[in-house]
Amino acid sequence: QVQLVESGGGLVQAGGSLRLSCAASGTIYGDNAMGWYRQAPVKQRELVAVLTSGGRTTYADSVKGRFTISRDGAKNTVSLEMNSLKPEDTAVYYCNLDDAWAAAPYWGQGTQVTVSS
């Protein structure tokens, strides 16, 4: 089975920065997309950023210019650099892997990000 493990969440003051990492293990094929979603209490999960195996990136309008998604280290490891954090960024952040050969996408357990001000 594919496993996704997130790390890097925590508590930070408004204007600060955090870096989230997601490491994927298992059988993963070349055509895929890895990304980050977030979910705040009583809200639906929303896309934050996605990076395809071909190098294309997609960002939510609310994080453009502040967040950057990239490959970091191993091929199946991605990072999310979050700068100029705002209280509205507070949420549980989930790593996602969408593999073209898989029946359904994979999800990590989530990591809490809390921004105070």
Residue 31 pLDDT greater than 80, yes or no: yes
**Looking at the predicted structure, is the pLDDT value of residue 27 above 90?**
no
- In one letter, which amino acid is 18? L
Does residue 28 register a pLDDT over 70?
yes
What is the DSSP secondary-structure string of 30-68? SSEEEEEEEE-TTS--EEEEEEETTS-EEE-TTTTTTEE
The dihedral sign for the CA sequence 84, 19, 32, 43: negative
The predicted structure's pLDDT at residue 51 = 95
Which tens digits make up the pLDDT trace of 80-91? 999 999 999 999
Six-digit token pair at 58? 């997609």
In this structure, the chain runs to a length of: 117
pLDDT at 75: 65
Q: Taking Cα atoms as reference points, which of 98, 60, 58, 56 lies closest to residue 76?
A: 98
Task: Judge whether residue 57 has pLDDT over 90.
Answer: yes
What pLDDT, on a 0 to 100 scale, did the predictor assign at position 73?
Answer: 62
